[in-house]
Amino acid sequence: MTAATRSLRQVATVGRIVIPLLVIFLIVAPVATVLVAQAIGPWLISVLNSNIGILRFVVAITAILLFSIPAAFIIIYMELKVIAYMNLRVGPNRVLPAGAAHSVVAGLKVLTKEDFTPNSADRLVFTWAPVLVFLTAVMTFMVVPFGPGLVGAPLNIGLLYLFAVGGMTVVGLLLAGWSSFNKYSLLGGLRSAAQVVSYEIPLTLSVVGLILLAGSMSIDSIARQQSGWVWDWFVFRQPLGALIFFIAGVAEANRTPFDLTEADSEIVAGFATEYSGMRFGFLFFAEYVNVFIMSALIVTLFFGAWNAPVDVNWLLHLVGVGPLSIAFDPGQLGGNLVALAAVVPLVVTLVLAAPFYLLRPEKPVWQSLLIGFLLLNLLLVGVLGLSAYVDWDWVAGLIWFMVKAFAFVFVFVWMRGTFPRVRIDQLMGFAWKWLLPASLLNLFATALAIILLKSAGIN
C-alpha cells in the first residue's frame, strides 16, 4: 500500500484524479459489460442476424483501417531500428524498452503539428491529393486475403481490380505535386507518375503467367491453389514472374533503390515538400501501407498466401487425427458466466503479473500489476475473438500470412539499408528495355508449357 501511495504522490494533480477513476472504471466496466450483455444480448443478436451483410462490411472496413495503423507503425519502427543496426548505430532507444513506441510517438507528433497550406497552392486539390493516395491503399487492402475467408470482398476479378485501383496512386501523387505550386513538388510528382506508370506494365504482365496457370483472376482461388507442400507455391512454377513482380513492386511502392520521387538529396521531399501536419502524415502513412500491401501481394500470389510450407492435413493424417476444429459456446455457462467474469480477470492478472514482479522486485508493484492487466486484456481479446466458433484454419493462416508478409517487409527495409539510388535514365530504361520483354517472355513460355503439357496428356 505504501508503494502505491508513494507512486500516486509523484504524479500531477490531474493524474491523482484520473488514475483512481481509471481504477474504478476498470473494475466496474467488465461487470457492467456482462450485465448489459445479459440484458440486451438476445435482441442484439437478432438484429445483427437480420443485417448480416451490413455487419460483415462494417467489420471488414473497421478491421482493415484498424490494422493499417499498427502495420504502418511497425514498419516505421522496423525501418528505424533495422537500418540503425545495419549502420552499426543503436537507433531509437528512449520511448519504452528499445524505443518500441518511437513510431507511435512520432505519429502523435505529426497529429499535433500545424497543417499548413501555402498561399499559392490550389487548396481543393491540395487537400484531396493525400486522401486519394491513402484511399487507393485502403481500397487495395479490400481484396487481400489475410487468411482463409478473411478477406474484405472476395471479388472474382480480384487481380484486375487490384491493378485498376492501385494505378490510381499516380493520380494522387501527380495532383499532390501539381497543386503545391512548388518546382520541387512538380518534379517529384512528375517523376513518380513516370516511374509508377512505367513499372505498372511489367507488374501487371508478370501475373498473367499466374492467371494462365490458375485459370482464375480471383485472389482467393489463387491462394487456395497453393495449398500443400512448399513446392506447390507459384514461385517455383513462375520464378521469372515472381522476380519481375518483386522488382516492379518495389518501384510501385516508391522504395529504395527506386525512390526517386522523394530523393531528398535532389528534390527535397518530392511531391510531399509543401505538405505538413496530418496531410503529410497521410502521404507517408499511405507509403508504408503500400509497402505492406506489396509484401502481402508477393506472399499471396507467389509465396503460398496463408498456407503453411508443410501439408498440414498430411501431417495430421500421419499422427492419426482428423482436421482440427474446436467449438465452444459461452451460452452453456449461463449464470456462472457472471461469476467467471468477476473472478477470472483478478486471478489471471495476478498470475500474469507474478513473473514481472519476481524479475524486478525493486520496481513498484503497480507496474507489474499494470503489465499483468494489459496482458490479460490482450488475452481476453484473443479468447473472445476465438470463443464463439474456433476454426484453427484461419488462425494458423493469419499467423503464417503475417510472418511471411513481414519477412518481405524486412527485405524492403534491408534493401533500403544497402542499395544506392538508381539514376532516372537507368530507372526508365530498365522498365522498358528489360522488364517488359522479360515479362512477355515469361507469359509466352508459360503458355507454351501449358500447351505442351496438355498435348502430352499431363495436366
Partner 1 sequence: MDQNVLGNLWYVVGFAFAGTLFVFGTIALAWLLSHRTRGDEHKGYPYESGIDTFGDSHARFGIPFYIYALMFVAFDIEVVFIFLWALIFQDLLLGGFVSMLIFVAILMLGLAYAWRKGVLSWR
Q: Which residues in 306-365 contact partner 1 (CB under 8 A)?
A: none
* Closest approach of partner 1 to the CB of residue 66, in Å: 10
Where in 83-102 is the site for partner 1 (CB under 8 A)?
none
Stretch in the footprint of partner 1 (CB under 8 A) among 29-37, 97-105, 118-126, 234-242: 118-126
- Contact with partner 1 (CB under 8 A) among 25, 57, 85, 389: 57
Stretch that binds partner 1, among 78-86, 95-103, 176-184, 340-348 (CB under 8 A): 176-184
Terminal CA-CA length for the chain: 74
Rounded distance, CA 422 to CA 427, Å? Answer: 6
Q: Which stretch binds partner 1 (CB under 8 A): 267-275, 327-335, 342-350, 408-416?
A: 267-275
What's the closest the beta carbon of residue 259 comes to partner 1, in angstroms? 17
Is residue 115 at the binding interface for partner 1, with CB under 8 A as the rule? yes
Q: Are 140 and 165 in contact (CB under 8 A)?
A: yes
What are the phi and psi torsion angles at 388 (to 5°)?
A: -55, -50
Q: Is 119 in the site for partner 1 (CB under 8 A)?
A: yes
Quick one: 353 or 427, whose CB is closer to partner 1? Answer: 427
- Output the smallest distance, CB 245 to partner 1, in A: 14
Applying CB under 8 A, among 20, 41, 70, 215 the residue interacting with partner 1 is: 215
| CA torsion through residues 296, 299, 301, 305, sign | negative
Q: Give the one residue of 101, 135, 380, 386 binding partner 1; rule: CB under 8 A.
A: 135
Among 25, 389, 392, 444, binds partner 1 (CB under 8 A): 444
Nearer to partner 1, 10 or 455 (CB): 455
Q: For residues 92 and 177, which CB has a smaller minimum distance to partner 1 in the complex?
A: 177
Per-residue binder mask for partner 1 (CB under 8 A), 137-156, x = binder = -xx--x---------xxxxx
Binding mask 182-211 for partner 1 (x = CB under 8 A): xxx-xx--xx-xx--xx-xx--xx--x--x
Site for partner 1 in 409-428 (CB under 8 A): 424-425, 428
> Any contact of residue 450 with partner 1 (CB under 8 A)?
yes
Quote the least distance from Cβ 453 to partner 1, whole Å.
11
Stretch that binds partner 1, among 294-302, 365-373, 377-385, 444-452 (CB under 8 A): 444-452
| Number of residues located near partner 1, criterion CB under 8 A | 81
Which residues in 268-307 contact partner 1 (CB under 8 A)? 268, 273-274, 277-279, 281-282
For 96, phi then psi, to 5°, come to 65, 170
Query: Binding to partner 1 by residue 130, rule CB under 8 A?
Result: yes
CB of 457 to partner 1, least distance (A): 13
- Nearer to partner 1 (CB atom), residue 375 or residue 449: 449
Applying CB under 8 A, which of residues 134, 245, 246, 406 lies at the interface with partner 1? 134
* Residue 171 touches partner 1, criterion: CB under 8 A: no
Which grid cell is 97?
524498452
Query: For partner 1, which is the closer residue by CB, 276 or 367?
Result: 276
The 3-state secondary structure of the chain reads: CHHHHHHHHHCCHHHHHHHHHHHHHHHHHHHHHHHHHHHHHHHHHHHHHHCHHHHHHHHHHHHHHHHHHHHHHHHHHHHHHHHHHHCCCCCCCCCCHHHCCHHHHHHHHHHCCCCCCCCCCCHHHHHHHHHHHHHHHHHHHCCCCCCCCCCCCCCCCHHHHHHHHHCCHHHHHHHHHHHCCCHHHHHHHHHHHHHHHHHHHHHHHHCHHHHHHHCCCCHHHHHHCCCCCHHHCHHHCCHHHHHHHHHHHHHHCCCCCCCHHHCHHHHCCHHHCCCCHHHHHHHHHHHHHHHHHHHHHHHHHHCCCCCCCCCHHHHHHHHCCCCCCECCCHHHHCCHHHHHHHHHHHHHHHHHHHHHHHHCCCCCHHHHHHHHHHHHHHHHHHHHHHHCCECHHHHHHHHHHHHHHHHHHHHHHHHHHHCCCCCHHHHHHHHHHHHHHHHHHHHHHHHHHHHHHHHCCCC
Residue closer to partner 1, measured from CB, 65 or 310: 65
Residue 210 or 247: which CB sits closer to partner 1? 210
Distance CA 37, CA 251 (A): 50
Site for partner 1, residues 240 to 259, rule: CB under 8 A: none
